[in-house]
Amino acid sequence: EPEVTQTPSHQVTQMGQEVILRCVPISNHLYFYWYRQILGQKVEFLVSFYNNEISEKSEIFDDQFSVERPDGSNFTLKIRSTKLEDSAMYFCASSEALAGEYLYQETQYFGPGTRLLVL
Partner 1 sequence: QKEVEQDPGPLSVPEGAIVSLNCTYSNSAFQYFMWYRQYSRKGPELLMYTYSSGNKEDGRFTAQVDKSSKYISLFIRDSQPSDSATYLCAMEDTGFQKLVFGTGTRLLVSP
User: Does 24 engage in binding with partner 1 (CB under 8 A)?
Assistant: no
Which one among 22, 44, 69, 96 touches partner 1, defined by CB under 8 A?
44
Whole-angstrom Cα distance, residue 46 to residue 43? 10
User: Does 35 engage in binding with partner 1 (CB under 8 A)?
Assistant: yes
Whole-angstrom Cα distance, residue 44 to residue 102? 24
Binding segment for partner 1 (CB under 8 A), chosen from 11-19, 62-70, 71-79, 107-115, is 107-115
What are the CA-CA distances from residue 31 to residues 7, 12, 38, 74, 87 (Å)? 19, 28, 23, 12, 25
User: Does 7 engage in binding with partner 1 (CB under 8 A)?
Assistant: no
**Could you count the other beta carbons within 10 Å of the beta carbon of residue 41?**
10
Which one among 28, 52, 85, 100 touches partner 1, defined by CB under 8 A?
100
Binding segment for partner 1 (CB under 8 A), chosen from 11-19, 47-55, 62-70, 79-87, is 47-55
Whole-angstrom Cα distance, residue 99 to residue 33? 13
- For 98, residues 6+ apart whose C-beta sits below 8 A from its C-beta are 31, 50, 106
Using CB under 8 A, list all residues that contact partner 1: 4, 6, 31, 33, 35, 41-45, 48, 50, 55-56, 58, 89, 91, 98-100, 103-104, 106-113, 115
